[in-house]
Amino acid sequence: MALKKYYFSLYEIALMSLCAALVVALKTIFTIPLHMPGSSGIFWVVPVIIGAGIVKKAGSGCYIGLVSGILASLFGLDALHVLDVFKFFALGLMVDVTGLLFFNRFDHPVIGFIAGAAGNLGKMVVNYAVQTLLGIPATFIIIGMGIASVTHFIFGGIGGIIAALILSRLLKAGVITPDET
């Protein structure tokens, strides 16, 4: 009897779930005292890009984003609670889109930068959308939107470069292989 073949293997699911847990763990452990919007993107895009970079399948970013969003909601890490799922999912979705456009070359620092910046900006847009739906005064959302998008771009990009450097190091050291899964 032929075994049913699933899109993600058990190994991939385990790896992506660990990356999702790492997003939540990093967010709990690290506090960046810069008080600038999007500054946390410098570390929380890293596991998403590394996970997507190892699995190299469309939907891996979404999976990591979704699981980390559910975990973050359960632990109440952010202000929007259950609505945080959308924020984390948007991050994963943007990493997936970048992977499709750039052939999953997440070990390349420039592509890592693009993936991280896109993910962090996607998170910001969803954050604003959710806040608008919740009725937060427009002042708090619109004022500074330009600056916030620049800081999200920069911090997400730096996080993406870090992820790309880690991935390329892991590949060079032979810890993972280009056809790992």
DSSP 93-161: HHHHHHHHHTTT-TTSHHHHHHHHHHHHHHHHHHHHHHHHHTT--HHHHHTTHHHHHHHHHHHHHHHHH
Q: Judged by CB under 8 A, does residue 177 bind another protein?
A: no
Residue of 3, 35, 133, 178 that binds another protein (CB under 8 A):
35
Q: Which is nearer to another protein, 76 or 169 (CB)?
A: 76
Q: Which is nearer to another protein, 146 or 174 (CB)?
A: 146
Q: Judged by CB under 8 A, does residue 100 bind another protein?
A: no
Residue of 134, 169, 172, 175 that binds another protein (CB under 8 A):
134
- CB distance 84 to 90 below 8 Å: no
Q: Which is nearer to another protein, 14 or 136 (CB)?
A: 136
Per the structure block, which two tokens stand in for 107? 């070990």
For 21, 39, 92, 169, the CA distances from 136, given in Å and listed in that order, are 30, 22, 25, 44
Q: Judged by CB under 8 A, does residue 74 bind another protein?
A: no
Residue of 91, 117, 158, 166 that binds another protein (CB under 8 A):
117
- CB distance 38 to 155 below 8 Å: yes
Residue of 150, 165, 170, 171 that binds another protein (CB under 8 A):
150
Largest CA distance in the chain: 62
Nearest to 114 by CA among 96, 137, 134: 96
Stretch that binds another protein, among 1-9, 16-24, 86-94, 139-147 (CB under 8 A): 139-147
Q: Judged by CB under 8 A, does residue 101 bind another protein?
A: yes
Q: How far is the CB of 161 from another protein (least distance, A)?
A: 14
Radius of gyration of the chain (CA): 16
**Rounded (5°) CA angle 5-6-10:** 110
Query: Given the rule CB under 8 A, which residues bind another protein?
Result: 35-37, 76, 79-81, 98, 101-103, 105, 110-111, 114, 117-118, 121, 131, 134, 136-140, 142-151, 153
